[in-house]
Amino acid sequence: MFHQQQFNQFCILILVTFFLIGCSTFIKNDISKDDVSVNKTQITPMEVLESSSEVMSNLDTLRFRIVHESGHTELFPSIYIDRMDVSIVFPDEYHVKFYGKGNSNQITKGEIIVSEGKTFITNPFSGKLEELSGGSSALKFFEPQAGIQSIFSSIEDVTFVNEVEDSSQQALLSGEMPANALLAIFGNLVLDEFVDVELLIDLKTKYLTEAKIIGPIVSSDSTEVVRKIEFVSFNKKFQIKKVD
């Protein structure tokens, strides 16, 4: 009888011990989850935009290209561009290569170089670079730094497309902006309309790596036109091509 009583007490003790251990583990895990949720930093779209805008405004050099998922851009009258490759040494030297076609569907390609206060453009008949006289510029509207900053400052109703946390590598943001925010990139033919825009930003470097512009921005655009500005090089040392 005595041994039976001792055995029962021992069993009760074991059950109480397991119960206490289980409660302790549950409480510890629960607290740990709470700590994670409390310590997780919430990044807002505006914070991402502002940090990227600051970094992109302080570059020494930049390379980007403008391509089209559909449609093209009328860069000059009757010259429709499919792709532009742009190299810039800030504040005022750049090299633009463009590829496209004319009204008769003839293939068009050329270069524009602005360096040391001079502007050179490909002569469409000879295919050679020639200096423009009188200090004029074929791209007098072209101020890519201002154009990039205008994208940052003009985008509205911006939201994250992907879930963004501390461990995220990139942030994809979407919103809309007036087409005339792109005046410094695409010129004075820009429409007074709103377009959808998506921005891809590297959260480590804060670089803007891609801007997708969805919708017409110039009068010659189709309604389905989609452009992408792909930023491919930041602060790499290079010199703008010299023209003899």
User: Is residue 167 included in any domain, yes or no?
Assistant: yes
Helix (H, G, I), strand (E, B) or coil at 241: coil
In 3D space, the residue among 111, 106, 115 whose CA is nearest the CA of residue 128 turns out to be 111
CATH at residue 73? 2.50.20.20
Structural domain containing residue 122: 45-234
Q: Containing H/E element for 78?
A: none
Clarify whether residues 28 and 81 are in a common domain: no
pLDDT, tens digit (0-9, with 9 covering 90-100), for 96-118: 999 988 777 777 888 999 988 88
pLDDT of residue 40: 52
Clarify whether residues 96 and 12 are in a common domain: no
Clarify whether residues 143 and 33 are in a common domain: no
Clarify whether residues 69 and 181 are in a common domain: yes
Clarify whether residues 18 and 137 are in a common domain: no
User: Is residue 239 included in any domain, yes or no?
Assistant: no
Share of the chain above pLDDT 90, in %: 45
Dmax (CA) for the chain in angstroms is 117
Clarify whether residues 176 and 110 are in a common domain: yes
User: Is residue 83 included in any domain, yes or no?
Assistant: yes
User: Is residue 106 included in any domain, yes or no?
Assistant: yes
User: Is residue 241 included in any domain, yes or no?
Assistant: no
pLDDT, tens digit (0-9, with 9 covering 90-100), for 28-80: 455 444 444 444 567 899 999 999 999 999 999 999 999 999 998 887 777 88
Q: Containing H/E element for 171?
A: strand 170-178
User: Is residue 10 included in any domain, yes or no?
Assistant: yes
Clarify whether residues 178 and 102 are in a common domain: yes
Clarify whether residues 34 and 98 are in a common domain: no
Close Cβ partners of 3 (under 8 Å, ≥ 6 residues apart): none
Say how far apart CA 229 and CA 64 lie, in whole Å: 7
User: Is residue 244 included in any domain, yes or no?
Assistant: no
Clarify whether residues 13 and 95 are in a common domain: no
- Give the number of domains in the chain: 2
The least confident of 8-17, 125-134, 186-195, 205-214 is: 8-17
Say how far apart CA 139 and CA 219 lie, in whole Å: 18
Clarify whether residues 93 and 197 are in a common domain: yes
pLDDT mean over 192-218? 94
Per-residue confidence at 7, pLDDT binned at 50, 70, 90? very low
Per-residue confidence at 136, pLDDT binned at 50, 70, 90? low
pLDDT of residue 5: 53
pLDDT, tens digit (0-9, with 9 covering 90-100), for 148-194: 999 999 999 999 998 887 667 999 999 999 998 888 888 766 778 89
User: Is residue 242 included in any domain, yes or no?
Assistant: no
Clarify whether residues 34 and 128 are in a common domain: no
Clarify whether residues 141 and 20 are in a common domain: no
